[in-house]
Structure 1
Amino acid sequence: MLGVRLSGVGVSPGRASGPVVRVADPLPEPPETPSPEDPLAEAARIRPAAEAVAEQLRRRAAAVGGDMRAVLETTATMAADPALLSQAEQLVTTRGVPAPRAVYEAASGFADALQAAGGYLAERVRDIHDVRDRLVAELLGVEPPGVPELPGPSILVARDLAPVDTAGLDPAKVLALVTADGGPTSHTAILARSLGIPAVVACRGVLDLGEVPGLAVDGDTGRVEVPEGPVEVHAAETTAASGWNGVGATQDGFRVKVLANVGKPEDARAAADAGAEGVGLFRTEFCFLAATDEPSVADQRTAYRAVLAPFAGKPVVVRTLDAGADKPLGFLGLAAEPNPALGVRGLRVARERAGVLDRQLEAIAGAAEDSGAEVSVMAPMVATAEEAGWFAERVRAAGIARAGVMIEVPAAALTAREIFDAVDFVSLGTNDLAQYLFAADRQAGAVAALNDPWQPALLRLIARVGEAAGEVGKPAGVCGEAAADPRLACVLVGLGVSSLSMNAAALTMVGATLARVNHDQCQSAARAAAAAADPTAARQAVHAALG
């Protein structure tokens, strides 16, 4: 295997080399036999096991902070989900299967439903599988799967990594991350960028290497190599984030707001603590994913106020309900669709149920008044200028001064100039924009390379929106995961983007990177990246342009 070269999607820059530590695959599927002698007693084992797993996760959450704490707390809630546990208990009592098998089947059913929904909910499938495997391990009395104790600085190789796997990783020991699955928006990518660890995902063949002396990983190009000679331990040199003054700007003073993406109060507090200048994306549906009835205006106002409160006096962009497809809010009663990602979602739901939108806008306006945040509102899944105008009218009628839309459909990017005539600003959702541009499900590992945010075709489309923004003198932001990549953030600024919104963990590194380059460099890097033949060439061109 010496000299073997593999390729994947580089999602966190830097080069590193060292010995390999393989993360064990999940436990094998538990058998359906033998049937328990006492089904009721066997079923009664499930809830204590779930509580034990949830408590383990809560302890790990308490030991970390920021985004990772929120993720682990959510995973702990999944482990104790009454619907999951009830279904598993019924499988034991009605079919007579052992408790580990019952938990496995119940959780797998939940995961299949999320996978079918696609989008954000499909991203949670890995979390459900992790919870399933931990519950099964607890019931069997064996060690749960996960990252083993690292003997020293190592390259971590896995099929994929769950949030629990990544919590508490020591960047002094983890030289790089390589996964066979995953994509540019996976937990692995987000964590690696926040820690400054090189990472490559969707690296086919990495699990088939067997015992190798080590690996060399290039997070810029996505190349993974088994060196022919001795493997030296080499940690990537990370760009120091110290010294950033908390104001987003290039070295020569070109202003770029560095904002956060949030969905819950704890997200907002973590973002404020990390120095976010405001919020570029408040995902309101996260407050109500479990709601069976439409929340009242008062309940919505209270929920929104809790998220807005840490940003009194600062800008916050609130996205109206992005329901449908990957976020099937139960109280909306949406019909099943053969292809939900291309169906009635986002603004299309609001146009069918305008009363739901109007009540949400009333609650947002009230929460803005309560919190003192400088609130703007934008709509998701907008395709035409007519849709943008319809939305803007309702926003202003609700007493909210600034209305905008998401650019995540190629048609909207191509007609950005006309859309700007109707709204005050736009925000590019690069995750969905790439998915629709390349007709490639962002959760499918086989097409992960197409969803690489460094794809020149995507950059050219963003440039078109940036040009339109410059022509009319209105802001265009990016709130997709692309904004969290420090080098790509510089490219986006060069393409005409005036604000960048990301997870809280990435704020400091992006702000510090912008502060070390001038605007001319960003523009040169943007031109080079957009003119490149492929993502690898784009990264190399930007590396040369920025130094």
Structure 2
Amino acid sequence: MGTTSSVASPIVLRGVPVVPGVQYAPVIRVSRLPEIQVPAGDIDEADRPAEAGRFAAAATEVATRLRDRAAHATGAASEVLAATATLAQDRAWIGAADKRIAAGAPAVRAVSEAVDQFVDLFTQLGGLMAERVTDLRDIRDRVIAELSGLPEPGVPLPDIPSILFAEDLAPADTAGLDPQLVVGLATTLGGPTSHTAIIARQLGIPCVVAVSGLDSVAAGAMVLLDGTAGTVTTDPDPTAAAKDVAAAQRNALAARQWTGPGATADGHTVAILANVQDGAAAKAARETPAEGVGLFRTELCFLNRDTEPTVEEQAAIYGEVLEAYAGHKVVVRTLDAGSDKPLKFAGHPDEANPALGVRGIRIAEGNPGLLAHQLEAVAAAGKATGNQPWVMAPMIATAAEAKSFAAKARSHGLTPGVMIEVPAAALLADKILDHVDFLSIGTNDLAQYTMAADRMSADLAALTDPWQPAVLALVEMAARAGAAAGKPVGVCGEAAADPLLAAVLVGLGVTSLSMAPAAIAAVGSRIAQVTLQQCRAAAEAVLATGSAAEAREAALARLS
């Protein structure tokens, strides 16, 4: 770790800030699978069954390791590891590899060719399917390492706290990070809503993505990573770097001492809520000052199943979250799946552009029973626990869709709301509020659709930055409609987890902020340090800017 960078003086590399915080430490890099020479010829026919067995054992071992890690992780990390383990034994690519082995290919070559086949397919599909390319390549490398008797590739365990640099991180790598030893994270690829970003936020590791120039920084070089400003400074002055880290630590200490409830310095109430996906995550969130759940993602009990879960199965899962937050607000989002997160039992056709396809509430058109059963289960869970939840539909684009959903929800005695993720919904928020009792803005998808930029594309990460003034203008429009109707409007996208942006959202008129539990203290603390008038002044200044960078600068100038 004692080597120094070849760069003679400090250089500031810029990216998209994801998780706030400042760290000064040496660089470590992900270990990759070494080049493996694969015999060009085919294996004898008599040896092919044994080779197929060797491949099956390697794939099973990789999946087992990932499942073991999932069992010891929580929240998003557990979800991502479990999903990667399932992909490691996905019948499609496994079958493609088996076919090649049966034709004579050695297992290593068969794995490489089979994965390449599906990488090409997912890349062509684009949208969120393209996100799985990193997962597939990671699985390929792990299986090939197992077949070759090599150490498993991934993040090395540093001897001292270090900052991890990578082109991109496989979800399995990110989910396994030790935040005591990997104290900062910077990637060349990725966006603010990538798996890397989401898990780094859950772990509370300062993170900057879409940073160009990382390859020029040697392993062992000392760098200053600023997850608030979105910068990586190579070879900074050690004394100045230490001062920056100390200031960030003081802010972090103040955040840890915040106990809620959410309010500005002059007493304006802002509910601070948690995003969760299961009962375990809800129980963990109760250890924070979160006042309730602003987004309960219900996809976990639907994905990777051959049949629809029963009403009873769903009610039991929903009940765990409602029990964890007994007496507190819980907002349940109905199934948000689709062509990018396919359901085996829903019968969707393949789509050329999944992000603009049959997803969210649109699935109910072809599968009305799915929504009816889910609402029945949510209502049953509410009755069983004595905690009546709110319920909201994703991907609403018209007032007619909102009206239809609201009628169904009310028929089960539930309080209806909708997600604002489609620009059309923000533009017609006043019409939608004629039918529902609340709105929740999903800034991840709202940014994607407003900027016509795939949120998983590293090349477009600057466009999907939630600080884009066009995105914030739509947030303001929805919040204004809510205020006029006297109905709450929250934000449950990743934008709410940015303490500075959270203050701007309050100034725009948002009434609640829901985020990963790890971000709650920092956001609540920041809101408590500013007045409503400061938030409004910052919001006004941000809306007058023309770029995300200018918007950040304008907010900092008024909220520092």
1:368 aligns with 2:367: no
Query: In the aligned structure 2, how far is the partner of 1:111 from the partner of 1:271?
Result: 36
Matches of 1:291 and 1:164 in 2, distance apart? 21
Q: How does 1:483-498 map to 2 (within 5 A)?
A: 483-498=496-511
Deviation at 1:185, TM superposition (A): 1.1
Where do residues 370-389 of structure 1 align in structure 2 (5 Å cutoff)?
Answer: 370-389=384-403
TM-score, normalised by the number of residues in structure 2: 0.88
Say if 1:61 and 1:69, in contact at 8 Å, map to a contact too: yes
Report the Cα offset of residue 63 of structure 1.
5.5
Pairwise mapping of residues 12-411 of structure 1 onto structure 2 (< 5 A)? Answer: 12-28=19-35, 31=38, 33-37=40-44, 38-61=47-70, 64-81=73-90, 84-93=93-102, 95-111=103-119, 121-167=129-175, 169-209=177-217, 213-227=221-235, 234=242, 236=245, 237-238=248-249, 239-240=252-253, 241-397=255-411, 399-411=412-424
- CA distance change for structure 1 residues 518 and 374 in 2, over 3 Å: closer, same or farther? farther
Contact residue 20 and residue 155 of structure 1 kept, 8 A: yes
Return closer, same or farther for 1:392/1:275 CA change in 2, 3 Å cut-off.
Answer: same
State the 1:121 CA deviation.
Answer: 4.9
Instruction: Indicate conservation of the 8 Å contact 2:75/2:276, yes or no.
Output: no
**CA pair 464-92 structure 1, distance change in 2 beyond 3 A:** same
Q: Distance in 2 between matches of 1:477 and 1:502?
A: 11
1:177–1:211: structure 2 CA closer, same or farther, 3 Å change rule?
Answer: closer
The answer to whether the 8 A contact 1:11-1:219 is kept is: yes
Shift of residue 128, structure 1, vs aligned partner = 3.1
- Give the Cα separation in 1 of the matches to 2:199 and 2:143: 25
Amino acid in the other structure paired with 1:47: A
Report if the CA contact (8 A) 2:33-2:145 is conserved. no
Q: How far apart in 2 are the matches of 1:442 and 1:380?
A: 17
CA 1:230–1:307: 2 relative to 1, 3 Å: closer
What letter matches 1:442 in structure 2? R
Q: Is the 8 A contact 2:76 2:198 kept in 1?
A: no
Q: Deviation per CA, 1:84-136: give whole Å up to 9, x if none.
A: 5454334322x222222333344445555555565555444433332221121
Q: 1:90 to 1:339 in 2, by over 3 A?
A: same
Give, in whole Å, the separation in 1 of the partners of 2:325 and 2:25. 43
**Structure 1 residues 210 and 462: alpha-carbon distance in aligned structure 2, compared to 1, 3 A threshold:** same
Report if the CA contact (8 A) 2:379-2:388 is conserved. no
Match of 1:453 among 466, 474, 489: 466
Q: Tell me whether 1:462 sits opposite 2:475 in the alignment.
A: yes
What TM-score do the two structures reach when normalised by structure 1? 0.90
- Counterpart of 1:9 in structure 2: which amino acid? V
Alpha carbons of structure 1 residues 16 and 273: separation in structure 2 relative to 1, 3 Å = closer
Shift of 1:473: 1.1
CA contact (8 A) 2:298 2:333 kept: yes
- 1:432 deviation in Å? 0.6
Structure 1 contact 319–377 (Cα < 8 Å) conserved: yes
Q: Superposition RMSD on alpha carbons, in Å?
A: 2.9
CA contact (8 A) 2:59 2:88 kept: yes
Q: Number of matched residues?
A: 545
Supply the AA of the counterpart residue of 2:410. R
Amino acid at match of 2:481: A
Moved more, 217-226 or 452-461: 217-226
- In 2: Cα distance, 1:265 partner to 1:311 partner: 10
Task: In structure 1, give the amino acid aligned to 2:463.
Answer: L
CA contact (8 A) 2:18 2:208 kept: yes
Q: Percent identity at matched positions?
A: 51
Q: Pick closer, same or farther for the CA change 1:212–1:229 going to 2, 3 Å.
A: farther
Structure 2: distance between partners of 1:444 and 1:147: 23
Q: Is residue 2:533 matched to residue 1:520?
A: yes
SS of the residue aligned with 1:451?
A: coil
The residue number in structure 2 matching 1:506 is 519
Question: Following the alignment from structure 2 to structure 1, what is the Cα–Cα distance between the partners of residues 294 and 37?
Answer: 45
CA distance in 2, matches of 1:190, 1:35: 43
1:543 is matched with 556
Residue in structure 2 matched with residue 533 of structure 1 by the alignment: 546
CA 303–533 in structure 1, closer or farther in 2 if over 3 Å, else same: same
CA distance in 1, matches of 2:433, 2:457: 33
Residue by residue over 1:43-87, the C-alpha shift from the partner in whole angstroms, topping out at 9 and shown as x without a partner, is 111233234334443554565544434433443444355665454
Per-residue deviation, residues 132-169 of structure 1 (Å, max 9, x unmatched)? 21121111111222222324343321101223323454
Q: Which moved more, 1:98-107 or 1:323-332?
A: 98-107
Structure 1 gaps, min length 5: none
Residue 3 of structure 2 corresponds to none
Indicate the larger mover: 2-11 or 130-139: 2-11
Partner of 2:484: 471
Alpha-carbon distance between aligned partners in 1 of 2:72 and 2:365, rounded to the nearest angstrom: 44
Residues 490-535 of structure 1, C-alpha deviations (whole Å, 9 max, x = no match): 2212211111222233223323333333323322222232223322
CA offsets, 1:289-320, max 9 Å, x none?
Answer: 12333344344334433443323332222222
